[in-house]
Structure 1
Amino acid sequence: MKRILILVLLVAVSFSCKEEFIDLQPISDMNAGVFYKSEQDMNQAVMSPYSSLRNVYNQLFIYMGEVRSDNTTFSWVPGDSKNMTSIDNFGDVMLSDNTFVLNFWNNVYNTILRCNIVLDKIDAVSFKDPKLKEQYKAEARFIRALMYFWLVRVYGDVPKVDKQLSVSEAYAVGRTSTQEVYDFIVEDLKFAEANLPVSYAAVDKGRVTVGGAKGLLAKVYMTMAGYPLKKGASHYALAEAKALEVISMPTYSLVPDYKALFDVKNENSAESLFEIQYKKGGTSTGSPWNNDFAPRFSNKEVVLIGDKSGFNAPTPSMSAAYETGDPRKTVSMSDNYVAVPGGNTVNEKYVKKYYDVSFAGSDNDNNWIELRLADVYLLYAEALVRQGKQSETALLYLNKIRQRARNSTGGSASILADYPPFTSSDAFLLAIEKERRVELAFENHRWFDLVRTERAKAVMSQEQKEQNGFNPASWSDNMLLFPIPLSVIQSNPDKIKQNPGY
């Protein structure tokens, strides 16, 4: 069977039933042909793409958004893994048969398939409440939009698949232009925004809300305004308006203590617009990051239970980006640990933001916060500055982030003073960029921020020169995208062509 079917294969999907939404427990081997009959069936069908998000976020996306940036690197690589080092080191040639690039593609398209199954089946099912049917559609379309937002930023032009396809239809699908993919994302998010609730009962907490759709739409508009589409002022204005709608919602507020924001007891907080839901307990629904990010050869000084993988280690420049005394650093990372036994200090950096005690192996309770209010504050401030307007308002929201940080556990009034008015928009934008880096560190925003603001060349050339001996003269904008997986091209070479430079 040709591998193009990884995009659109008609599968009998494993759905997720729920006593509580957060459980996301898979039930096995349902017969898809007879399943879609009732509201309850469709509710379980909607849980399927939510569940599938765990496969996308478990590890691979960190390589695309953090390791590719100046935030993190690999402190340990198993063997001579060019698949990993070529993502981190721009001097290594990233090959189109890179397994991480392929697995990311597969996992994202599998999630899109699950969304499309919901959307293809739901209209034939009778609902007592028509609004509930539209809500289920909106949830599927939000997740589909989120997945395409990932795809288009990672690969550029990608096949747009908006329904289940037959084998013959699959072979007719080629790469869709970046512009058209973004238009499709916006269309899905506008539908989601119009049909999602503001909140849910406790049993369904974690499902996407209207605030999540608005917040993601603001981020999409900001990305469209920058590279590669360069829509500019019109889309900065759209991002500003949508971000302000989120900020004005009484549902959301900054968590007063930055440390508490990442405590597993505070998941789906008032700051969170959308989280990927995880639950430990030996049910294959736990999160791996506490173990994945721990130094490979540490003992129990960093994590108490399970493996340590040495992935996603902070870079020296990331460590230096924090101002002296910034409590966000102590929450987010450490420069070393004290070895037990022996008591020696091991100077190895690691991410601390996702701490939990594993159930077994790499099985933790941490949700992944995909979008939160602090991100929206900073996008709002940036959108204003890029339009040359309301500098006082932009400064207000930039400083709200610093105020929360200095009032957090470990902070004090003597650190992180408010920024004074800036003398130029360039200086203002660099301050926002810096604040985004330290506030959102290890949350997978940095690489995409550098790309959309056209700062990747300057920042990454210097970073790569310092860390990997990279010659900045070797920089190519082809590095801004990842290769289309080789097996995808081989499956349909007439329709799927490779990105330049690979």
Structure 2
Amino acid sequence: MKKYHLLYLLSALLLAGFTSCEDMLTEKPNSSYDKDGYFDSEAKAEMAIMGIYSSISDKDHYGWCEMAAPASDDTYYTSRTHSDNQVHDIAHYRINSTNTWVENLWKFKYQAIDRANMAIDGIRHMTGYEENKKLKALEAEARFLRAFMAFDLVKYWGDVPFKTTYSESYESAYQPRASRETIYDEIIADLTFAKENTEWATAGSDPERVTQGAARALLMRVYLQRAGYSLQMDGKLTRPEEGKRKEYFNAVIEEWKAFQANGYHDFHPRGYDTLFKDISYGTQNPKETLWEISFFHMQGKRNGGAWGIYNGPMVGEPTGLAASEANQHMGRANGFFIVVPEWRGFFEETDTRRDVMVCTYQQRWNAKLKAHEKRELKAGGWYCGKWRREWMSPDSWNKNLNYGDVNFCPLRYADVVLMAAEAYNETGNAQSTAWELLNRVRTRAGATPITEANYEELMAARKKTHQLTFIDDTTPQGKFRTALYWERGFELAFEGQRKYDLIRWGVLGKALKLFGEASSVNKKETKPYPAYQTFTEGKHELFPIPLKEIQSNPKLEGKNNPGY
């Protein structure tokens, strides 16, 4: 069952005592707590680590605002098209530098990094640090979390202010842009330290805490993103030269070999559908979920997260119930995110991922019967289905109508397998290994293994309506890239990676155009999935830096990201 770190609450209170986010980049000491005198025991060092976790698991960070960051891509969009200066403007590429959710994301990334910087510095200066494995393991967690946040900064904003020392004053907080390559070097150094100073997970591990597998998986993701395209300050998409790219792909393969040598991590033992039901329910299995961002909703308080409530199928609010009856019903879910319906038809009938990815119904409340009733929906109304109210523990149903206890898993084993497969393909000399790894993922889901021999047969239906003209599949490598394009969509949709896969492959705008023009939902005058028209290449691969930060940090010289 799910483990809840009560230290989150304690550390949040503690860190609130000596850190407050008075502007986007500054957490200024303002109480009797003194950083230099605080780190005098392992227990207090661990409290500081919990403070970093608590910043990431804040309801307004990964609990809510983060849901908008990876939308829209070719698999989903938001259910409304009106301008809101929040989630819908982000998802429909109508974003500007005053978007309140982007401001929140920027603030929380830097808050977590500053807390990590403080914890790392404090731990390193503790008596006995050099020979204390526990302290180094805690530092490793802090460095993983700093790397995780720094990676978000690079993906979302490109070249940004960055430093690895704690901001003890307003003056020290303000920094000029650092090259993303410099930040990548720091990320890789942090994750290398993390993997060398944390243990591999076991059956008894808590996936809400960082382990070696999480560090290695994130390192693989970082190398792949670094090897791909990214938007530069001159408005051009570029990627490293081929020698560097091969170096990064080989680094991914080395991390994969470490997973193989360890041998613990694998697919969920009871299948793909059970994996996501367990995540919603709170049943943990660290074999596939390498790291989970923890959410726990205290009764009557607005903490916890909104996974499965805003990005799951709609559930009508129970009404007309006595207080004693309320806990017998699952509460409300708003269903903000909608699947591009054509994806459902791309799956084989035997593929168990189809009915997890795409939820074709909603739960309406029948006040007369005092019960929820499933109502099937037409294409264009189907919801993202990986997290659902109906799968959650009844203990969490009515704590709060807008928040729940569902963790978010940003790193899982299936992604590791697909990342390794991609790296083998891109080195150009391991085609059979690449196909074998991709087919491990397909076989787990009940899909037909794909090879060069049956490639054309399995792709025929998709090519009729969704020919990927932006991927040349006339070569063995190109065939694999095409198969991987589809497979990462089938396996990882809505989990935060798809948009950034498309960016690093250099095809986000082209994919949006293909799916937007072909989708049945856009055949009417009002287009609910307008990203193919509103996306601007050379601009929307990055978010704007918040206007407040541009105005308050003179070292940014008043310059925003391209197009903003």
Which category describes the TM-score, using the shorter chain as reference length?
0.7 to 0.9
Indicate conservation of the 8 Å contact 1:402/1:418, yes or no: yes
Deviations 1:153-185 (A, max 9, x none): 011011112111243533651111111111111
Indicate conservation of the 8 Å contact 2:307/2:407, yes or no: no
TM-score (norm 2): 0.77
- Taking the aligned partners of 1:164 and 1:339, their CA distance within structure 2 comes to 50
Counterpart AA for 2:150: Y
Counterpart AA for 1:492: N
1:462 offset after TM fit, Å? 2.4
* 1:352 corresponding residue in structure 2: 385
1:270-349 aligned within 5 A? 270-282=287-299, 286-294=304-312, 298-299=316-317, 304-337=329-362, 339-341=364-366, 345-347=376-378, 348-349=381-382
* 2:66 corresponding residue in structure 1: 61
- Taking the aligned partners of 1:471 and 1:280, their CA distance within structure 2 comes to 37
1:115 offset after TM fit, Å? 0.6
Match of 1:51 among 44, 49, 54: 54
- Taking the aligned partners of 2:165 and 2:535, their CA distance within structure 1 comes to 42
Which moves more between the two structures, 240-249 or 391-400? 240-249
Counterpart AA for 2:68: Y
CA RMSD, aligned part only?
2.8
Deviations 1:328-371 (A, max 9, x none): 12223312336454875443212232231434223433221111
1:80 offset after TM fit, Å? 4.1
Go from structure 1 to structure 2 and tell me whether the alpha carbon gap of 1:258 and 1:51 turns closer, same or farther (over 3 Å shift).
same
SS in 2 for 1:369: strand
1:378 has 2:439 as partner:
no
Unaligned runs of 5+ in 2: 18-31, 231-238, 320-327, 367-372, 456-474
* 1:411 corresponding residue in structure 2: none
- Taking the aligned partners of 1:176 and 1:60, their CA distance within structure 2 comes to 25
1:202 offset after TM fit, Å? 4.6
1:269 has 2:300 as partner:
no
Counterpart AA for 2:310: D
Go from structure 1 to structure 2 and tell me whether the alpha carbon gap of 1:249 and 1:266 turns closer, same or farther (over 3 Å shift).
farther
Counterpart AA for 1:58: G
1:86-165 aligned within 5 A? 86-90=89-93, 92=94, 94-127=95-128, 130-165=132-167
1:205 offset after TM fit, Å? 5.1
Go from structure 1 to structure 2 and tell me whether the alpha carbon gap of 1:318 and 1:163 turns closer, same or farther (over 3 Å shift).
farther
Match of 1:483 among 522, 544, 559: 544
Indicate conservation of the 8 Å contact 1:381/1:395, yes or no: yes
1:458 has 2:510 as partner:
yes
Counterpart AA for 1:485: P
1:401-420 aligned within 5 A? 401-406=441-446, 416-420=447-451
SS in 1 for 2:86: helix
1:48 offset after TM fit, Å? 1.0
1:255 offset after TM fit, Å? 1.2
1:481 offset after TM fit, Å? 0.7
1:64-83 aligned within 5 A? 64-65=69-70, 67-76=71-80, 80-83=83-86
1:76 offset after TM fit, Å? 4.0
1:222 has 2:253 as partner:
no
SS in 2 for 1:292: coil
TM-score (norm 1): 0.86
1:6-45 aligned within 5 A? 22-27=5-10, 28-29=13-14, 30=17, 31-33=32-34, 34-45=37-48
- Taking the aligned partners of 1:474 and 1:158, their CA distance within structure 2 comes to 22
Among all aligned residue pairs of Structure 1 and Structure 2, give the percentage whose two residues are the same amino acid: 29
Go from structure 1 to structure 2 and tell me whether the alpha carbon gap of 1:344 and 1:364 turns closer, same or farther (over 3 Å shift).
closer
- Taking the aligned partners of 1:107 and 1:296, their CA distance within structure 2 comes to 28
- Taking the aligned partners of 1:460 and 1:398, their CA distance within structure 2 comes to 24
- Taking the aligned partners of 1:344 and 1:224, their CA distance within structure 2 comes to 44
1:278 offset after TM fit, Å? 2.4
- Taking the aligned partners of 1:152 and 1:365, their CA distance within structure 2 comes to 29
1:500 has 2:562 as partner:
yes
1:248 offset after TM fit, Å? 3.2
1:236 offset after TM fit, Å? 1.2
Deviations 1:96-143 (A, max 9, x none): 111111111111111111111101211332358611111111110000
Counterpart AA for 1:498: N
- Taking the aligned partners of 1:171 and 1:314, their CA distance within structure 2 comes to 41
Q: How many residues align?
A: 470
Which moves more between the two structures, 255-264 or 331-340? 331-340
* 1:233 corresponding residue in structure 2: 246
